[in-house]
Structure 1
Amino acid sequence: MADSMDPQATVTLADIERAAEILKGAVVNTPCDRSYTLSRDLGVDLWLKFENLQFTASYKERGALVRLSALSEDERSRGVIAMSAGNHAQGVSYHAGRLGIPATIVMPEGTPAVKAENTKRWGAHVILEGKTLEDAAIFARAYGAEHGLTFVHPYNDPLIISGQGTVALEMLNAAPDLEVLIVPVGGGGLIAGMATAAKAIKPDIEVIGVEAALYPSMYNKIKGTHLPTRGDTLAEGIAVAEPGPIPAALVSKYVDDIVLVSETDLERATFALLMIEKTVVEGAGSAGLAAVMADRQRWKGRKVGIVLTGGNIDPRLLASVLTREIAREGRLSRLTIDIPDRPGELSRVSGVLGQAGANIVEVYHQRVFTDLPARGTELNLVIETRDRSHLEAVLARLEASGYRVVVKTGQVGS
């Protein structure tokens, strides 16, 4: 299987410029636009690169196409194999299908259904194997060796890195005076390519990587720390336990800093992009904005470019993110109210809430599993209010009407 990579291999601006020629007409030169609303709200001159508008909704198809274009005729006829949590899989599958190259994709068992189905749609043979990306990689290498397939690594490959680096060429062409690039980091292919290009074109530009706090793998490697990598993150696309040695070397050389963002930061950024920019971005893709929102003083007044790396998010997960953020804003709350167990009491509570302008979303009683007296009932309500100040007014109205209320909003973890 042709998958060995020299750990000393590197990438230059010339490599990235050659990759850009290969990509012309085959991938979208996505918009790189200023967000006027986010710039005003955050005090940052913020520019967004909409890679979620690629055909497969991710920048990953850039590197995939550059790598596939370098295959020999024999390698093309035998086919390729890749392991991926989703976006690399779709990029390889789509462009392999375009070029008539058989493709097999190995995905971890927990891969979101939308990514697995989209990968199959482009004609690839999909195998779900392994609990983690690393487990899937072990299986993919063994399977590929057995069947004579060329392994297409998602990040530890100079050709892949060169393809991803074309994002920076396009951003600096659209906004040459950018002062900072903030880039999500998983295995490191995107930031390695972008930093290589950006520093060659504009040596004084600052390049910052962003990782989910649950998966600080590049952070550990660059800073010499030993923070744990574990857990379920919204940013599963960058949940990589060990970055590639080739991108890590480039990151060490060109990247100015790596920062970590919490799950709440990622949720808020995903929510903001949908509400303000009307664009769907997956957790990994929102990491750049999450970093700006979490530490806005650091970027205040500067011209910052971030990459919205992908938009492939499971609809149920997106719905959960939106609902949780609405709760954090005090617009959705769960109330527990002790009421007498007698006719008309529920109607009375509903009347108070209606007069206060609250909307009842859900209601249920609890008579058995409670420490209230036998003649009492625990009433549980989910209500919708305009904002937190409106919620406080509603609670005041209930308490003035003689009800003892316990409220649960999205404040925990915020």
Structure 2
Amino acid sequence: MILLNDIYSAQEKMQGMIHKTPLDYSKTFSSIAKNEIYLKLENLQKTGSFKVRGSFNKMSSLKKEEISKGVIAASAGNHAQGVAFSSHLLNIPCTIVMPKGAPLSKIQATRHYGAEVELYGSVFDEALDYALELKDKTGAAFVHPFDDHLVIAGQGTVGLEILDQLPEVEVVVCPVGGGGLIAGLALAIKEMKPSVKIYGVEALACPSMKQSLHENKVVSINSMPTMADGIAVKKPGELTFQIVQKYVDEIFCVDEMEIARTMLMILERNKLLVEGSGASSLASLLYQKIPIEGKKAVAVISGGNVDVSFISRIIERGMVEAGRFVHFGLSLKDKPGELEKLLGIITLLEANVLNLSLEHMGEKIYPGYAVLQLSLETKNHTHVEHIFKELINKGYEIIQ
């Protein structure tokens, strides 16, 4: 079993090698969540996530004979970059197996650090199985993304930093995938200050740790697609499960809508780009999934590695979910002045036209009419409902 001293030892090894990330108080999020909300910004860590802590601690602890044939790891992205960065610092050759659907930005960043990348399988678990096969064939040392004593101890340094930065902390909320981060963090904090409540958060699409705790054993689940790909692990670790059982108070889940809205809010309010898994902890507080109020609560923002091509979709999805973007069609008389009349109504309703297209021919378009497709920037869901109501009252047929 991992000891508190192991985490302190990991912290000592990392001095000067990684960042002590900021703990940022948010007045806005505190007001929404009805708690004093602090953000532990691991998205500002080297390589863009907490993963470098565990990988560096693991690899710097290996003996020369253990790394004579290099190291190998499996990752959906952030662990890959952590291992690649650490291997570069320590001058150790490494191979990373990533799922074929891994974000291109994470694949490129991993290669940039000098790692050899192999793409295999559609999900992390398939990549992990293949990496273990390669490890047996090549004799390379394996750096597990979460189920390893030294990796967990490295991640636990996040907990030590939180206690140092906010000694009066009452609640810590942490994203959960395989469980390495929450296991190390919970062990560190609970051993130092047992009164602190530790809560985990999973994507509703892949609640493997929550289900495992429910069944009192590690189980593998069928997952659904999620924008929180960093925590979409179908089976948690055996070691992490044991630690979570002992130290974590409860696991909660957030859905895709809550994750998307939170990502957009952090981008707008804090000017921080945060990935879905990183936003899940804050989402649970903003949507009051956790039954607490008036507490000093830290949300661990675990990573910020978002594919550039995905940013626009995040913003659009977040705006749709928040009622700030709507796309619909309506039937319009095909004669001069009708479009100008409609746009005048839209202007009076204080909506901003982002895009429009007019179709004059089609199976469901009657002679003398056209179908107008409109994309509007709106204020909220109430505003959207008001726009639809006013248009219907003026004789327009809404097509969604």
Calculate the TM-score normalised by the size of structure 2: 0.94
Instruction: Tell me the residue number matched to 1:283.
Output: 276
Give 1:383 shift: 1.6
- 1:216 to 2:207 alignment: yes
Instruction: Tell me the residue number matched to 2:92.
Output: 101
Instruction: Tell me the residue number matched to 2:31.
Output: 40
- Compared with structure 1, are the counterparts of its residues 39 and 366 closer, same or farther at alpha carbon in structure 2 (3 Å cutoff)? same
Instruction: Tell me the residue number matched to 2:328.
Output: 335
- Compared with structure 1, are the counterparts of its residues 228 and 70 closer, same or farther at alpha carbon in structure 2 (3 Å cutoff)? closer
Instruction: Tell me the residue number matched to 1:366.
Output: 359
Counterpart-to-counterpart distance in 1, 2:384 and 2:252 = 35
- 1:229 to 2:204 alignment: no
Counterpart-to-counterpart distance in 2, 1:201 and 1:393 = 53
Give 1:372 shift: 4.3
- Compared with structure 1, are the counterparts of its residues 388 and 291 closer, same or farther at alpha carbon in structure 2 (3 Å cutoff)? closer
Counterpart-to-counterpart distance in 1, 2:183 and 2:333 = 64
- 1:320 to 2:313 alignment: yes
1:302 to 295, 300, 308: 295
Instruction: Tell me the residue number matched to 2:372.
Output: 379
Letter aligned with residue 307 of structure 1: V
Deviates more, 1:286-295 or 1:222-231: 222-231
- Residues 83 and 137, structure 1, Cα contact 8 Å, conserved in 2: yes
- Compared with structure 1, are the counterparts of its residues 176 and 327 closer, same or farther at alpha carbon in structure 2 (3 Å cutoff)? same
Give 1:359 shift: 2.3
- 1:164 to 2:155 alignment: yes
**Count of paired positions:** 398
Counterpart-to-counterpart distance in 2, 1:358 and 1:109 = 41
Deviates more, 1:152-161 or 1:329-338: 329-338
Give 1:255 shift: 0.8
Counterpart-to-counterpart distance in 2, 1:137 and 1:352 = 56
Give 1:320 shift: 1.4
Q: Which runs of 4+ in 1 moved over 6 A?
A: none
- Residues 56 and 86, structure 2, Cα contact 8 Å, conserved in 1: yes
1:176 to 156, 167, 180: 167
Counterpart-to-counterpart distance in 1, 2:323 and 2:363 = 26
- Residues 392 and 398, structure 2, Cα contact 8 Å, conserved in 1: no
Q: Percent identity?
A: 38
Instruction: Tell me the residue number matched to 1:87.
Output: 78
Q: Deviations over 1:195-223 (max 9, x none)?
A: 11111000111111111111111111111
Give 1:51 shift: 0.4
- Residues 107 and 136, structure 1, Cα contact 8 Å, conserved in 2: yes
Q: Deviations over 1:244-269 (max 9, x none)?
A: 10110111111111111111111122
- Residues 33 and 288, structure 2, Cα contact 8 Å, conserved in 1: no
- Compared with structure 1, are the counterparts of its residues 203 and 51 closer, same or farther at alpha carbon in structure 2 (3 Å cutoff)? same
Q: How does 1:103-252 map to 2 (within 5 A)?
A: 103-224=94-215, 228-252=221-245
RMSD: 1.9
Give 1:369 shift: 3.3
Instruction: Tell me the residue number matched to 1:406.
Output: 398
- Compared with structure 1, are the counterparts of its residues 187 and 391 closer, same or farther at alpha carbon in structure 2 (3 Å cutoff)? closer
Gaps of 5+ in 1: 1-9, 409-414
Give 1:145 shift: 2.0
- Residues 106 and 136, structure 1, Cα contact 8 Å, conserved in 2: yes
Counterpart-to-counterpart distance in 2, 1:227 and 1:39 = 36
- Residues 93 and 122, structure 1, Cα contact 8 Å, conserved in 2: yes
Give 1:386 shift: 3.7
Letter aligned with residue 404 of structure 1: Y
- Residues 62 and 164, structure 1, Cα contact 8 Å, conserved in 2: yes
Counterpart-to-counterpart distance in 1, 2:233 and 2:191 = 27
Counterpart-to-counterpart distance in 1, 2:167 and 2:372 = 59
Counterpart-to-counterpart distance in 2, 1:125 and 1:263 = 33
Letter aligned with residue 304 of structure 1: A
Q: Deviations over 1:48-80 (max 9, x none)?
A: 100000120000000000000111112333210
